[in-house]
Amino acid sequence: MRWVCILFPQLALDAVLRQRPDPDEPLALLTGPAQRRVLQAVNGPARALGLRPGQSMAAAQALSKGFVTAEYDAAEIEHWQQFLAAWAYRFSSQVSVHYPRAVVFEIESSLGLFGAWPQFEARLRTELTELGFRHRIVAAPNPVAARVLANVYDGLVVPDDQALRYHLGQLPVDRIALEPTVSTALSRMGLRTLSQVQALPRHTLARRFEAQVLKHLDALLGLRHLALAFYLPPDRFDVRIELNFDVQSHQALLFPLRRLTGDLSAFLCGRDSGVQRFDLHLEHAGLPDTLIKVGLLSAERDPAMLFELARGRLEQVQVEAPVRGFRLRAEDLPSFVPQRQELFDDRPQQSLPWEQLRERLRARLGDEAVQGLRFQADHRPECAWQTTVDNQFCGGLPGVQRPGWLLTEPLAVHEGSARILMGPERIESGWWDGADVRRDYYLIQTRAGQQGWAYRVVGEGGPLWLQGWFA
Amino acid sequence: MGAVVALDTLFNGGQVWKGRPAPPAVSPQPTGHAALDAALPTGGWPEAALTEILLAGQGVGELQLVWPALARLSAAGERIVLIAPPYVPYPQAWQNAGIDLRQLSIIQASERDALWAAEQCLRSGSCGAVLCWPRKADDRALRRLQVAAETGSTLAFAYRSMAEAVNPSPAALRIAIDAKPAQLRVLKCRGGLARTAPIAFAMGH
């Protein structure tokens, strides 16, 4: 039992249905050119009306008018399969979308974390039901067998190879994902189940069929390994829901909003990241989108919280035109830091490491905004400091009196507005780099009692120049 | 029976006044100035709260007031953040005050972003002390800083102009620095009556 296959028997229908508030509404998905629309898939209530896949639209409308239609969009189905893979990525790093309408992932290494299989299966089912996808789950020793068994079973667990051999042997030959010509040929030979096929000598099968058939049978039994391309989650989240009618009140937007934030949360859990900033686009016919920016103080991924925050922003907005589409985009997905909980923690809740805080500040204020300070061994005050990003230790000059604040541009001190308390101290340096200074520094006190550090260039008269405050 | 209420819940809820109030806890952040410590009810900077320092001009010892606490925090490996300081901190002076410059970070921000940055730093809980210079902050902005300091249990210092002394403030402690004569006045302190007598505060040279 190493691989789980989750098959979505009506992925296309579920993808459309989950965006509608009423799931019991009869729904038919249409395909084909505009001249000849054909029903591709119908849900249960629509089936009860007499609609069947393959009917033409005209025939369906002759039977009933009380159903809604949507386009059967292959790209949309692909998108939802990717979404479900992102959801499954939470449980396993080896997730594959090799098979259409199904997600296959390795599970044995995750059971230690998520508990025994029955609980884990229950969790998978709960989450999928909440997301609104019908599903069949089968666990088997190899991915090919899991996928094939999901054709027939739901909730089956195959613990070992012997049980696998037994369960596979029961399968009829037309359900084991062989080419139709091959399965027809086999059934015409009188072979109904896989066990009968396996009982045949290998070389006779090899002579009668293409090499592909034996390879597939070997892969089913785990004798031959299938190389799967694993799913890699994307770095951004961008999902759009098209509303089929003009929405004029925000009440009607809450359902799609809840879906979108729920999907975002499922995606974030899969990537083990959070979201700090995301955009809601309200699309209008013929007008530019209304953009609602939602920003958070810290990275979050709780669906209820995301929904409440987005709802708060949405309710504030006045839109001038009816809304036709709804879209949620999240570009920046920082890693999620769960609340640190230590028994003896002197800093309570939501402690954010300095590195993350620095990144957040830099993201908003600019790359140069966060600086360190460093002493440079130079006597000239304007050269004695340097901003830095690394934090290496650097020595200083102990015992020399220097002001706490340094002015970047010296200010002239008016005659008589300050008196000299101490000085002079001569600083004479910099003849080697062209910025030669010869100054006498004084500790001065202004009339208001402020203490400053001012200089006069040696050999020049004139006012004192204030260069620092003894703060 | 709804009338039965556990005594503990009554006492802990603060609804019943007990005759002998517990003395306020001693602050783990002494200011390093003995006279000031003696005047403050907790014997130090209010922990996890905003302290407002009001001054008429620069160069009256406003840094010397906080340097001992900052030096102790930086020695303990806590980060000290200056948000949009008005001038360049002279590294040598700060080092001579005992502050480890490796623990010092300076954030350059505009007036509006500075308040945001201060709130973020305070709330994050990863800084030991945050110093900011809000120029046009109203009481709502200060209240936000105060709440953020409580959330992240961080020392927050806001330097403001002496003209703000007449306005109410949500800060836990307000200290005015007079230059002439050199003294400190405690305008407000949480947890006790503010001492009206000024405290002598000579700048050390």
Domain ranges of chain A: 3-25+67-220, 239-330, 381-469
A170-185 average pLDDT score: 89
Q: How far is B43 from chain A (nearest CA, A)?
A: 20
Looking at domain A239-330, its CATH class is alpha beta
Closest chain A residue to B204 measured between Cα atoms? A470
- The confidence score (pLDDT) of residue A389 equals 67
Q: Using the beta-carbon criterion (under 8 Å), do B152 and A375 form an inter-chain contact?
A: no
Residue B84 or B190, more confident = B84
Span A125-177, pLDDT tens digits: 999 998 889 999 999 999 999 999 998 899 899 988 899 999 999 899 888 88
* Single-letter residue type at A209: F
pLDDT band with cut points at 50, 70 and 90 for residue A4: very high
Instruction: Point out the least confidently predicted range of A121-135, A426-440, B16-30.
Output: B16-30
Instruction: Point out the least confidently predicted range of A74-88, A179-193, A297-311, B78-92.
Output: A297-311
- The confidence score (pLDDT) of residue A297 equals 60
- The confidence score (pLDDT) of residue B1 equals 47
Q: Is the pLDDT of residue A341 over 60?
A: no
Q: Which of A296, A373, A390 to mutate to test the interface with B (most CBs of B within 10 A)?
A: A373
Closest chain A residue to B116 measured between Cα atoms? A361
A372-398 average pLDDT score: 74
- The confidence score (pLDDT) of residue B21 equals 61
Closest chain A residue to B121 measured between Cα atoms? A357
Instruction: Point out the least confidently predicted range of A200-214, A261-275, A376-390.
Output: A376-390
Q: Using the beta-carbon criterion (under 8 Å), do A396 and B95 form an inter-chain contact?
A: yes
How far apart, in whole angstroms, are the C-alpha atoms of residue B186 and residue B36?
9
Q: Using the beta-carbon criterion (under 8 Å), do A384 and B92 form an inter-chain contact?
A: yes
Q: Using the beta-carbon criterion (under 8 Å), do A446 and B59 form an inter-chain contact?
A: yes
Q: Is the pLDDT of residue B25 over 60?
A: yes
Q: Using the beta-carbon criterion (under 8 Å), do A399 and B96 form an inter-chain contact?
A: yes
- The confidence score (pLDDT) of residue A393 equals 62
Q: What percent of chain A has pLDDT over 70?
A: 93
- The confidence score (pLDDT) of residue A299 equals 78
- The confidence score (pLDDT) of residue A15 equals 86
Q: Using the beta-carbon criterion (under 8 Å), do A372 and B87 form an inter-chain contact?
A: no
pTM: 0.55
Q: Using the beta-carbon criterion (under 8 Å), do A446 and B126 form an inter-chain contact?
A: no
Domains annotated on chain B, with CATH: 46-200 (3.40.50.300)
- The confidence score (pLDDT) of residue A346 equals 53
Chain A residues near residue B56 by CB distance under 8 angstroms: 448
ipTM: 0.84
When the pLDDT of each residue in chain B is averaged and rounded to a whole number, the result is 85
- The confidence score (pLDDT) of residue B118 equals 92
Query: Which of A283, A293, A278, A291 has the alpha carbon at shortest distance from A243?
Result: A283
When the pLDDT of each residue in chain A is averaged and rounded to a whole number, the result is 84
Chain A residues near residue B133 by CB distance under 8 angstroms: none
- Name, of A118-122, A268-272, B27-31, the range with top average pLDDT: A118-122
Residue A397 or A328, more confident = A328
Q: Is the pLDDT of residue A442 over 60?
A: yes
- The confidence score (pLDDT) of residue A231 equals 87
A422-433 average pLDDT score: 83
Span A190-207, pLDDT tens digits: 999 999 998 999 999 899
Other CB atoms within a 10 A radius of the CB of residue A434 amount to: 6
Q: How far is A368 from chain B (nearest CA, A)?
A: 8
Other CB atoms within a 10 A radius of the CB of residue A71 amount to: 13
B139-149 average pLDDT score: 90
- The confidence score (pLDDT) of residue A71 equals 85
How far apart, in whole angstroms, are the C-alpha atoms of residue A377 and residue A294?
47
Other CB atoms within a 10 A radius of the CB of residue A409 amount to: 8
pLDDT band with cut points at 50, 70 and 90 for residue A31: confident
Q: Using the beta-carbon criterion (under 8 Å), do B101 and A372 form an inter-chain contact?
A: yes
A385-391 average pLDDT score: 72
The secondary structure of chain A, three-state, reads: CCEEEEECCCHHHHHHHCCCCCCCCCEEEEECCCCCCEEEEECHHHHHCCCCCCCEHHHHHHHCCCCEEEECCHHHHHHHHHHHHHHHCCCCCCEECCCCCEEEEECHHHHHHHCCHHHHHHHHHHHHHHHCCCCEEEEECCHHHHHHHCCCCCCEECCCHHHHHHHHHHCEHHHCCCCHHHHHHHHHCCCCEHHHHHHCCHHHHHHHCCHHHHHHHHHHCCCCCCCCCECCCCCCEEEEEEEEEEECCCHHHHHHHHHHHHHHHHHHHHHCECEEEEEEEEECCCCCCEEEEEEEEEEECCHHHHHHHHHHHHHHCCCCCCEEEEEEEECCCCECCCCCCCCCCCCCCCCCCHHHHHHHHHHHHCCCCEEEEEECCCCCHHHCEEEECCCCCCCCCCCCCCCCEEEEEEEEECCCCEEEEEEEEEEEECCCCCCCEEEEEEEEEECCCCEEEEEEECCCCCCEEEEEECC
- The confidence score (pLDDT) of residue B18 equals 67
Q: Which of B124, B130, B145 to mutate to test the interface with A (most CBs of A within 10 A)?
A: B124
- The confidence score (pLDDT) of residue A188 equals 93
